[in-house]
């Protein structure tokens, strides 16, 4: 296994494209056709090489067994209430899918509402979006098959657990928003046979479905044929009085929304504009207070604020500011029991506060420590709510907050066999990024008693995009690395939401190199401060994070020994041509724009691999049902990197079946983690002690 591998033949064609006078080869264009027999044969041959390599790691089976033990404990979701009943999700440990339960009151006997483990024989079909009708009579839910982003929506009559004949197909990027005897949903027209997982998704439509009727009878609520690459989604308020239509145009580079409203208390079905044009600002409806709408927005407030908007006078000059912008970004806001809850981020950790609906401060919610807390919302007549808290060495725990007494009490904390939280410690450091001196936060997790001698194996994780915050989180699978002395590091690089919209915007389009510079600087910090060394450092990222680690491997292969690239966006010149890839133009820009093309072409992982250069040991993962970042990205990247590799480090691609952008069930998640962990430890020289 120390010799250079013999890879399957990957035919190089003379395909070439010209962008603004620049000729760009694309020799593996044929791999974009996932149904072509040549591609299918290539996939089979690649998996054969990868499996042989992984099976040659002597402790791979032991790693998987260890992961199963660490993952095998009951996990609960926070309860939510509808009428007299509470609903929650529970996984006994190794169930492929969590089961949803309902019970009358908190002391009632739990009954199974729906068990997604019965959706498919292999447990790869998942429960996706779901919504309960206001009267508690119906349960609408979507099913994702094999990890695909496509949904099939069904309706259950709750009293008898009876699944009704209602069946809605080709649903994607959709809420299920109840109003009356039906709900709003969003869908596309059926794609061409054989192209369901790759063809561009255009003409997003909103429909209203009445329970008991066929999909063909559904009412078309909204479409926009003039703008085929827009998203249209509808949500409704708790009392179902208001329906809100969100419109986004990310395919044209806009990061914000337009927002329209229907008021059931008013005659007619016209959509009244609150925010008439799509721009670069976001608007999240929280609730309504009387006739006015409570909205969280970053309009003229990069760190967000909460305002009241009167639908009869929606102009910005008439907005009432309820929560003004603060130095810390507002992560989320919700209402419950006549109060307004607001969760802010302070250096990537949550702070939670309670206000009156008029914005008058009442109290801070005392959280159990520094970590990530979510779920501060509920019903208007709630007297208490549930929220969750977790950190790197604290598993997701559920707390009950009493609105009248202002006290939090622990409701449920999992007990994990074989895990001793006190054996690990977490620190947060701040380092300076390249050139511009940006201060970037980073969490470092390891066993207590770490010696800073530069000899520790380490795994650096990053994402850096799409306004996503990478908050402190618990993952039992990560413990298998930590307990073997691996240092785990999470860098909160630009492109995310850690410090509001300015932090996000600084990692987009023409500024995307900032993200890569931040990540490279994180690796340099770990090496300079002797947490690890280049020969003992691995990096990992998925989706946009896969792009991140691919760029690092091209720009600074000397910094790392191992690269784990998962479902990455690797072809930055053609990503917008598949499924909803055009949606990412708002963050990345487009190769159809000359200035943006120059930047994209300068860092696109596939297009910046140098023949004969020595690249790190690389494991690429993707799956056949990934219709978000289509497998062609990973296929073409693997073929190009294998062709160019000038050193002896392996370049392998692991192609899963019946999985999507992430593992589609528990078994597949553990299997994938076992292969990734084994690959990391083998190439970093770690021999697990089991």
Predicted pLDDT of residue 1 = 45
How far is residue 177's CA from residue 340's CA, in Å, rounded to a whole number?
A: 22
C-alpha angle 417-479-396 in degrees, rounded to nearest 5: 70
- How many CA atoms are closer than 13 Å to the CA of 556, on its beta-carbon side? 18
Which residues have CB under 8 Å from 41's CB, separation 6+? none
For the record, the structure tokens of 126 come out as 């998942």
Nearest by Cα to 586 from 252, 300, 166: 252
* Strand 16-19 with 339-346, pairing: unpaired
* Residue bearing tokens 């069904």: 154
User: What number of H helices and E strands is found in the chain?
Assistant: 10, 39
How far is residue 82's CA from residue 660's CA, in Å, rounded to a whole number?
A: 32
For the record, the structure tokens of 469 come out as 């915050």
Which residues have CB under 8 Å from 182's CB, separation 6+? 208, 209, 210, 211
204 carries an active-site annotation: no
Backbone φ, ψ for residue 83 (5° rounding): 65, -125
Maximum distance among all Cα pairs of the chain, rounded to whole angstroms: 75
> Do residues 308 and 292 touch, judged by C-beta distance below 8 A?
yes
For the record, the structure tokens of 394 come out as 């604290």
Tell me which of 204, 607, 661, 677 is the catalytic residue: 661
> Do residues 520 and 440 touch, judged by C-beta distance below 8 A?
no
Nearest by Cα to 296 from 268, 324, 337: 324
Length of the chain: 690
Q: Is 45 exposed, middle or buried (0-12, 13-18, 19+ CB in 10 A)?
A: middle
* Residue bearing tokens 């947060």: 428
- How many CA atoms are closer than 13 Å to the CA of 73, on its beta-carbon side? 16
**pLDDT mean by block of 10 residues, the chain; 690 residues:** 81 98 98 96 98 98 97 97 97 98 97 98 97 97 98 98 98 98 98 96 98 98 97 98 98 96 94 97 98 98 98 97 98 98 98 98 97 98 98 97 98 91 96 92 98 98 98 97 98 98 98 98 98 98 98 98 98 98 98 98 98 98 96 98 98 96 97 98 95
How far is residue 587's CA from residue 585's CA, in Å, rounded to a whole number?
A: 5
How far is residue 39's CA from residue 421's CA, in Å, rounded to a whole number?
A: 46
Predicted pLDDT of residue 3 = 59
Residue 152 CB neighbours (<10 A)? 18
* Residue bearing tokens 């061409």: 192
661 carries an active-site annotation: yes
* Cα distances (Å, whole numbers) of residue 607 to 544, 550, 551, 600, 628: 17, 11, 10, 9, 21
SS (H, E, C) 573-636: CCHHHCCCHHHHHHHHCCCCCHHHHHHHHHHCHHHHCCCCCCCCEEEEEEECCCCCCCCHHHHH
Give the gyration radius of the chain's Cα atoms: 25
SS (H, E, C) 234-254: EEECCCCCEEEEEEECHHHCC
Which residues have CB under 8 Å from 608's CB, separation 6+? 551, 554, 555, 602
* Residue bearing tokens 């008021």: 263
Tell me which of 148, 248, 490, 543 is the catalytic residue: 543
Nearest by Cα to 197 from 41, 37, 34, 31: 34
Q: Where are the alpha helices (DSSP H) in 465-607?
A: 479-482, 501-505, 513-528, 544-555, 585-588, 594-603
For the record, the structure tokens of 170 come out as 């080709």
For the record, the structure tokens of 158 come out as 């709750």
Backbone φ, ψ for residue 440 (5° rounding): -120, 130
């Amino acid at each position: 296994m120390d010799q250079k591998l013999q890879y399957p033949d990957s035919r190089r064609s003379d395909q070439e494209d010209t962008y603004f006078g620049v000729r760009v080869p694309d020799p593996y264009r044929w791999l974009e056709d996932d149904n072509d027999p040549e591609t299918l044969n290539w996939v089979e041959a690649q998996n054969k090489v990868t499996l042989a390599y992984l099976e040659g790691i002597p402790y791979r089976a032991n790693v998987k067994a260890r992961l199963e033990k660490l993952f095998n404990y009951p996990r609960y979701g926070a309860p939510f209430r509808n009428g007299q009943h509470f609903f929650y999700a529970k996984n006994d440990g190794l169930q492929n899918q969590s089961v949803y339960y309902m019970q009358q009151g908190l002391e009632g006997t739990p009954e199974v509402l729906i068990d997604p483990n019965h959706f498919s024989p292999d447990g790869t079909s998942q429960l996706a979006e779901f919504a309960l009708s206001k009267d508690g009579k119906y349960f609408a839910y979507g099913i994702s098959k094999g990890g695909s982003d496509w949904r099939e929506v069904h309706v259950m009559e709750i009293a008898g657990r009876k699944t009704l004949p209602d069946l809605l197909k080709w649903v994607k990027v959709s809420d299920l928003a109840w109003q009356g005897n039906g709900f709003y949903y969003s869908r596309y027209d059926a794609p061409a046979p054989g192209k369901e997982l790759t063809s561009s998704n255009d003409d997003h439509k909103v429909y209203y479905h009445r329970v008991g009727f066929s999909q063909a009878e559904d009412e078309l609520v909204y479409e926009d044929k003039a703008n085929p690459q827009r998203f249209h989604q509808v949500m409704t308020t708790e009392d179902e009085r208001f329906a809100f239509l969100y419109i986004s145009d990310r395919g044209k580079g806009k990061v914000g929304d337009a927002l329209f409203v229907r008021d059931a208390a008013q005659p007619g079905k016209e959509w009244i504009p609150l925010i008439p044009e799509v721009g670069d600002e976001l608007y999240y409806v929280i609730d309504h207070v009387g006739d006015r709408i409570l909205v969280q927005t970053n309009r003229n407030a990069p760190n967000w604020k909460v305002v009241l908007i009167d639908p009869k006078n929606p102009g910005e000059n008439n907005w009432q500011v309820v929560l003004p912008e603060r130095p810390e970004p507002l992560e989320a806001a919700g209402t419950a029991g006549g109060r307004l809850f607001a969760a802010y981020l302070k250096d990537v950790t949550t702070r939670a506060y309670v206000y009156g609906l008029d914005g008058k401060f009442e109290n801070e919610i005392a959280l159990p420590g520094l970590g990530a807390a979510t779920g501060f919302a509920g019903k208007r007549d709630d007297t208490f709510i549930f929220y969750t808290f977790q950190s790197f060495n604290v598993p997701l725990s559920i707390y009950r907050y009493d609105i009248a007494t202002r006290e939090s009490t622990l409701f449920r904390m999992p007990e994990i066999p074989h895990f001793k939280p006190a054996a690990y410690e977490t620190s947060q450091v701040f380092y300076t990024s390249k050139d511009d001196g940006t201060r970037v936060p980073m969490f470092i997790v390891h066993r207590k008693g770490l010696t800073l001698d530069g000899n520790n194996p380490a795994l650096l994780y990053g994402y850096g995009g799409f306004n996503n915050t990478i908050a402190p989180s618990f993952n039992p699978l990560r413990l298998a690395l930590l307990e073997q002395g691996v240092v785990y590091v999470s860098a909160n690089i630009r492109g995310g939401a850690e410090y509001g919209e300015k932090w996000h915007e600084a990692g987009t389009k023409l500024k995307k190199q900032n993200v890569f510079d931040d990540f490279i600087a994180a690796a340099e910090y770990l090496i300079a401060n002797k947490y690890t060394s280049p020969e003992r450092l691995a990096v990992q990222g998925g989706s946009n994070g896969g792009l991140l680690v691919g760029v690092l491997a091209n720009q600074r292969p000397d910094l790392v020994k191992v690269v784990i690239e998962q479902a990455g966006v690797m072809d930055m010149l053609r990503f917008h041509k598949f499924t909803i890839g055009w949606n990412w133009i708002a963050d990345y820009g487009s190769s159809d724009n000359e200035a943006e093309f120059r930047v994209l072409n300068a860092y696109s992982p596939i297009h910046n691999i140098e023949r004969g250069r020595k690249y790190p040991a690389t494991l690429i993962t993707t799956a056949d049902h990934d219709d978000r970042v289509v497998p062609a990205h990973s296929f073409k990247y693997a073929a190009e990197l294998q062709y160019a590799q000038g050193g002896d480090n392996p370049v392998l691609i692991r192609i899963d079946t019946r999985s999507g952008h992430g593992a589609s069930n528990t078994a597949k998640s553990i299997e994938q983690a076992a292969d990734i962990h084994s690959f990391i430890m083998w190439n970093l020289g770690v021999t697990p002690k089991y």
